[in-house]
């Protein structure tokens, strides 16, 4: 039955391939990078010989790449003789890999879930192991690796209630896919329980905590943020990060109220997707807010109301320059974005109510009074005004966020310990954990 399903699935995927490439072409009208490197998506690429017999890490986009970086750094330290190949799906994920890891890894796009494309990729790369960040259950990807005896480890695995509700409808198929997975290292007991209900063998399941708590902000980025703050004449800085359509309008309404109280307030507005930079620029113009684009290199004057963050890889620099941060994808029902980077820098955080993709993290921060949840732009404006008035409150909340991160570190050590059982022995690797050890 499962083989028949994969045959039908593959046939449909082949038939829709022209539409998939047309969609890439359409998306490239806004993001030119979608027009590039198409052959990689079919498993055709130039590959350095030294990258063979490697550790293969798959991280879909930016969020997964962020979680993967500490793991990659640890693996490079413990296994310097092994090369690492990183695949992503999106250009933004690709860009983050290149910016953060440079030539220390090999990067290509993940081939589409077609057996011949995947088999060509695997034949050329010959990976020793596949690490999948969070949850990517591609039937042919899993089957191809399983058939070639390549261990498949899902790292930092999570299943939101929404995703689980979708998977459970095809449980008989998902359970077959999970049977071919070697190990699932889940973020939380709730995630582990959902994987159990989908049919994963409990002996393959381990709760290790969330790798995102092991975030380390590079010193160079912290210093660059401090330098940016100084260049702004120490104005009060509010960063609105990873925003989406339907949020920027509310942020601008809130900003106008804040600026009426604090004339020296500066907004740094960073849309989540690069293809929306021009759209948000027009929105700032429509609201008669003077702004500069970060990419322009123009110095920010006292008359500048906002900086449009239209560059890549500078989010932590903006956070390090901030007095307060709003993290988007949360005033609209998109599940939110990672709040741990500003927390690691001691920046007080505000989000909207839609944080389902980061529920466990949000709950931990809420329990420590290290985050503020708001419902609308009025509450957003009120909270920022309150924090701008009370510097001690900002400092306390920021310190609480850093404390939550410190208390929840440790997933990285557990992951690298587990991976030691699949990679060549090294004296630097900690002792293996029991299969069902909890974080």
81 catalytic per annotation: no
Query: How many residues are present in the chain?
Result: 439
Give the separation between CA 353 and CA 356, rounded to whole angstroms: 9
365's tokens: 């921060």
Interior CA angle at 104 toward 98 and 108, to 5°? 50
371's tokens: 């985050």
Catalytic site residue from 40, 48, 64, 134: 64
DSSP string, 2-34: HHHHHHHHHHHHHHTHHHHHHHHHHHHTT-GGG
**Strand ranges inside 121-190, DSSP E:** 129-133, 152-157, 183-186
Q: What are phi and psi of 171, to 5 degrees?
A: -55, -40
Could you say which DSSP state residue 304 is in? -
Helix (H), strand (E) at residue 108: strand 106-109
Give the separation between CA 5 and CA 170, rounded to whole angstroms: 11
106's tokens: 């090999």
**How far lies 395's CA from each of 35, 105, 266, 350, 428, in Å?**
45, 38, 19, 14, 38
Give the separation between CA 18 and CA 13, rounded to whole angstroms: 10
> Catalytic residue numbers?
64
């Amino acid at each position: 039955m499962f083989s028949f399903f994969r045959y039908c699935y593959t046939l449909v995927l082949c038939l829709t391939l022209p539409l998939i490439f047309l969609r890439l072409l359409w998306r490239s009208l806004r993001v030119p990078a979608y027009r590039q490197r198409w052959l990689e998506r079919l498993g055709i690429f130039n590959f350095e010989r030294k990258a063979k017999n490697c550790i293969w890490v798959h991280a879909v986009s930016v969020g997964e790449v962020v979680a993967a970086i500490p793991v990659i750094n640890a693996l490079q330290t413990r296994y310097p003789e092994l090369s690492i190949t990183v695949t992503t799906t999106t250009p933004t994920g690709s860009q983050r890999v290149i910016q953060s890891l440079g030539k220390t890894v090999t990067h290509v796009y993940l081939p589409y879930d077609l057996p011949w494309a995947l088999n060509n990729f695997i034949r050329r790369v010959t990976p020793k192991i596949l690490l999948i960040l969070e949850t990517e259950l591609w039937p042919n990807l899993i089957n191809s690796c399983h058939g070639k005896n390549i261990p498949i480890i899902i790292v930092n695995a999570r299943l939101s209630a929404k995703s689980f509700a979708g998977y459970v409808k095809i449980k008989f198929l998902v359970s077959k896919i999970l049977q071919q997975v070697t190990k699932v290292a889940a973020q939380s007991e709730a995630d582990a329980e959902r994987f159990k209900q989908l049919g994963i063998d409990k002996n393959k399941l381990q709760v290790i905590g969330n790798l995102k708590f092991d975030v380390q902000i590079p010193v160079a980025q912290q210093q660059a943020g401090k330098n940016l703050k100084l260049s702004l004449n120490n104005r009060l800085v509010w960063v609105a990060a990873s925003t989406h359509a339907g949020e920027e309008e509310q942020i601008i309404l809130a900003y106008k109220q804040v600026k009426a109280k604090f004339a020296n307030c500066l907004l740094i507005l960073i849309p989540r997707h690069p293809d929306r930079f021009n759209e948000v620029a027009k929105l700032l113009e429509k609201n008669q807010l003077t702004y500069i684009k970060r990419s322009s290199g123009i110095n920010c004057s006292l008359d500048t109301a906002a900086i449009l963050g239209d560059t890549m890889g500078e989010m932590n620099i903006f956070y390090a320059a901030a007095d307060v941060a709003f993290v988007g994808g949360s005033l609209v029902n998109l599940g939110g974005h990672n709040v741990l980077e500003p927390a690691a820098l001691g920046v007080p955080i505000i989000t909207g109510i839609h944080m389902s993709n980061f529920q466990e993290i949000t709950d931990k921060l809420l329990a420590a009074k290290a985050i503020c949840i708001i419902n609308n732009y009025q509450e957003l404006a009120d909270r920022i005004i309150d924090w701008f008035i009370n510097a001690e409150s900002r400092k306390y909340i920021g310190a609480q966020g850093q404390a939550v991160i410190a208390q929840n570190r440790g997933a990285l050590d557990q992951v690298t310990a587990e991976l030691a059982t699949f990679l060549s022995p090294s004296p630097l690797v900690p002792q293996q954990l029991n299969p069902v050890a909890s974080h």
